[in-house]
Amino acid sequence: MSLRNCRNVKVLKVAPVGQQERPDEFYEITLEYPDWDEWRPGQFVMVRPVAWPLDLVWGRPFSIYTADETSLTVFIQKSGRGTARIAALRPGDEVAVWGPLGNSFAMEPDAPTLLLAGGIGIAPFRGYVERHPHPGNVRLFLAHRVPLECYPYDIIAADVCADCMLEKTSTDLQAIIDAMGGLIREYAEKGGLVLACGPTPFMRTVQRFAKEYGARAQVSLENRMGCGVGACLGCVTKDSAGHHVQVCTRGPVFWADKVEF
Amino acid sequence: MDMHVSFGGLNLKNPVMTASGTFGFGLEFAPYGDLKKLGGIVAKGLSLKPREGNPMPRIAETPCGMLNAIGIQNPGVEHFVTQILPSLPWRDVAVLANLYACDAAEFGELAGVLAAEEGVAALEVNVSCPNVKEGGVAFGQDPAQIARVTEAVKKRAGSKPVMVKLSPNVTDITVCARAAADGGADALSLINTLSGMAVDIRTRRPRIANVIAGLSGPAIKPVALRCVHQVVRSVDIPVVGIGGIASAEDALEFLLVGAQAVQVGTANFLRPDFAFNLVDQMEALLTEIGAKSLDEFRGSLQLPLA
């Protein structure tokens, strides 16, 4: 057991998700547990298959979707060469995994907590909901462009109050922004916690409303990463004083009023 | 096999060092291996004053390598010596400081600060800054400037060995190597990154905000090997090989052409325990190929008769 490590582990299971709607795009990849002492929702891992040739030199960062004493699962969407090859892994293949990396989302069991997910940004919230002692205090809002079946929405909605909005047109987008504004305002007024993960424009919207309504909000940033351990300085963002800080080690979760992106 | 190496005033327990800018200050990698196992750690580049570095995006993955234009983001030399160096296991592993400055006087001042530190085993000089006073050509591309900067560092370095890191972006790297040697360098390390670029036809933008960036990784290994081969034959001072090392075999290739030691850079991103594993793998491979000792193997490249 260790606090943080780099291990070669075997792929246990590769489960496609949402095949009817978007074949070959979303996958749950389950790996042998790398023997960590502990992990917290919001943290991430770097994954690089051992057999990868040197044409792709970096591992790929994925938030921890869920884990138990025997396995670790990441939820991935194919979006480039690296994720395509990771999706093509088969049980028994070996991957190097280093983690758990970065910090985690705030968890205040008694505080009303709003989870705002933009598309694949839903991934870390599966573990968050599983770990939350009082899921009755948690609510999920998912904004998505691809069909709902592609996301673990139902799994999360089985435990917490959840709703979702599909974006197909610019009118939909405005409705989503309005809904987010309403929700963030509501949670600001009741002194709750707002946690967000999604694409950059989505996070900027969260940051803007959090500032406007004075909400306590955290955003999880996902920059391109070379190393995941704070060394390459390729994933930096700016803190509120305008200084570059690594997303991988100082984040990926930042208080919305303490970061510029 | 005895993996210990001594050269240019440095004593390393093995020939594996980590390259500047790819291993943080070392502590970032402590969860993944025992820092004391390494031959040496070259800390990330230090300037006199803190630097914020370049805007994002700063890195891009390219076939068998990567581009970076970080811009020497660092907390400044004062922060390094007071806040970081004391927590590094420098009594048990050689910690080299990497110096970045934009004129000879500043280099000298930086060397003076670091020379006073017991925990610093040697100084590595990064000559990649464009010299504004001399028309923007990097120090590393002008032999006269390399000599001047080396002298300035050497003058303030006290008893610390001075290693000059050479750029491959020159017509003849042996001229630069001789200039550093003439300036008093105790050793050379090479190569730094190759100048490169990547663009995106969809967004019609460069992939790196700085536009021009440094290429590293396995893609540059043949260039690095050629440079080391040429330099060891043109100067009398020891050479440390750097460039695309991603296996024990790669590392031994640099020793075969005559490097005393190697630095591992981009491969630290392949997995964070890479450098630690390399120490054992190199020793095992030397035995496997029948090398009698490091000294016997080093520089034993059999060249065709002219």
How confident is the prediction along chain A (261 residues), in pLDDT tens digits per residue?
788 999 999 999 999 999 888 888 999 999 999 999 999 999 999 999 999 999 999 999 999 999 999 999 999 999 999 999 999 999 999 999 999 999 999 999 999 999 999 999 999 999 999 999 999 999 999 999 999 999 999 999 999 999 999 999 999 999 999 999 999 999 999 999 999 999 999 999 999 999 999 999 999 998 889 999 999 999 999 999 999 999 999 999 999 999 999
The verdict on a CB contact (< 8 Å) between A243 and B58 is: no
Smallest CA–CA distance, residue A220 to chain B, in Å, is: 18
Does residue B164 belong to any structural domain of this protein? yes
Is-cis flag, bond preceding A199, omega within 30?
Answer: no
Q: Which residues span the domain enclosing A145?
A: 113-220
Smallest CA–CA distance, residue A191 to chain B, in Å, is: 35
Does residue A258 belong to any structural domain of this protein? no
A52 and A150 part of one domain: no
Does residue A259 belong to any structural domain of this protein? no
Considering its fold, how many domains does chain B have in total? 1
Does residue A46 belong to any structural domain of this protein? yes
Smallest CA–CA distance, residue B20 to chain A, in Å, is: 10
A214 and A119 part of one domain: yes
Q: What is the mean pLDDT of residues B20-28?
A: 97
A121 and A215 part of one domain: yes
CB B86 within 8 A of CB B74: no
- Name, in order, each residue with C-beta under 8 angstroms of B85's C-beta and a sequence gap of 6 or more: B95, B117, B119, B120
Does residue B116 belong to any structural domain of this protein? yes
d(CA A103, CA A248): 8
Partner-chain residue, chosen from A58, A229, A244, that has the shortest CB–CB distance to B52:
A244
Question: B279, B278, B273, B265: which is closest to B22 by C-alpha?
Answer: B265
Q: Which stretch of DSSP H or E encloses residue B29?
A: none
Q: Does ipTM come in above 0.90? A: yes
Does residue A88 belong to any structural domain of this protein? yes
A118 and A95 part of one domain: no
User: What letters, b where the CB count within 10 A reaches 16 and e where it falls short, cover A132-142?
Assistant: beebebbbbbb
Does residue B119 belong to any structural domain of this protein? yes
Q: Which residues span the domain enclosing B271?
A: 5-53+71-194+216-297
- Name, in order, each residue with C-beta under 8 angstroms of B256's C-beta and a sequence gap of 6 or more: B297, B298, B299, B300, B301
- Name, in order, each residue with C-beta under 8 angstroms of A22's C-beta and a sequence gap of 6 or more: A146, A147, A150
The strand order across the sheet containing A60-63 reads A60-63, A44-49, A94-101, A5-17, A26-32, A71-77, A66-67
A85 and A119 part of one domain: no
Does residue A24 belong to any structural domain of this protein? yes
Positions of B annotated as catalytic residues are 129
Does residue A232 belong to any structural domain of this protein? no
Smallest CA–CA distance, residue B171 to chain A, in Å, is: 28
SS (H, E, C) A197-232: ECCHHHHHHHHHHHHHHCCEEEEECCCCCCCCCCCC
What SS3 class is residue B293? coil
The verdict on a CB contact (< 8 Å) between B272 and A4 is: no
The verdict on a CB contact (< 8 Å) between B218 and A5 is: no
Note the pLDDT of residue B128.
84
Residue of A nearest to B209 (CA): A234
Tokens representing B290? 């029948």
Considering its fold, how many domains does chain A have in total? 2
User: How far apart, in Å, are the Cα atoms of B90 and each of B22, B42, B94, B277?
Assistant: 18, 11, 6, 20
What SS3 class is residue A93? coil
The verdict on a CB contact (< 8 Å) between A231 and B63 is: no
Q: Which of A46, A95, A232 to mutate to test the interface with B (most CBs of B within 10 A)?
A: A232
Vertex B291: Cα angle to B290 and B296 (nearest 5): 155
CA B89 to mean position of chain CA atoms: 20
d(CA A118, CA B151): 57
The verdict on a CB contact (< 8 Å) between A6 and B272 is: yes
Smallest CA–CA distance, residue A70 to chain B, in Å, is: 21
Does residue A42 belong to any structural domain of this protein? yes
Partner-chain residue, chosen from B23, B61, B271, that has the shortest CB–CB distance to A6:
B271
Partners of A76 in the β-ladder? A27
A119 and A200 part of one domain: yes
Mean pLDDT, chain A, whole residue set: 96
Phi, psi at residue A98, to the nearest 5°? -120, 135
Does residue A237 belong to any structural domain of this protein? no
Using a CB-CB distance cutoff of 8 angstroms, which residues of chain A are in contact with residue B31?
A: 2-5
Using a CB-CB distance cutoff of 8 angstroms, which residues of chain A are in contact with residue B29?
A: 229, 231
DSSP A191: T
Identify the residue whose tokens are 């996070």. A203
Instruction: Please say which residue of A204, A220, A236 terminates a domain.
Output: A220
Q: What is the CATH number of the domain that holds A127?
A: 3.40.50.80
Does residue B59 belong to any structural domain of this protein? no
Q: What is the CATH number of the domain that holds B141?
A: 3.20.20.70
The verdict on a CB contact (< 8 Å) between B59 and A226 is: yes
The verdict on a CB contact (< 8 Å) between B31 and A4 is: yes
Partner-chain residue, chosen from B53, B58, B61, that has the shortest CB–CB distance to A56:
B61
Classify residue B184 as left (phi > 0), alpha (psi -120 to 50) or beta: left
Residue A239 identity (one-letter amino acid): D
Does residue B152 belong to any structural domain of this protein? yes
A96 and A168 part of one domain: no
* A174-229 pLDDT tens trace: 999 999 999 999 999 999 999 999 999 999 999 999 999 999 999 999 888 999 99
The verdict on a CB contact (< 8 Å) between B266 and A57 is: yes
A77 and A117 part of one domain: no
A121 and A197 part of one domain: yes
What SS3 class is residue B259? coil
A119 and A209 part of one domain: yes
- Please count the residues of chain A: 261
Using a CB-CB distance cutoff of 8 angstroms, which residues of chain A are in contact with residue B276?
A: none
Handedness of CA B103, B106, B111, B114 (dihedral sign): negative
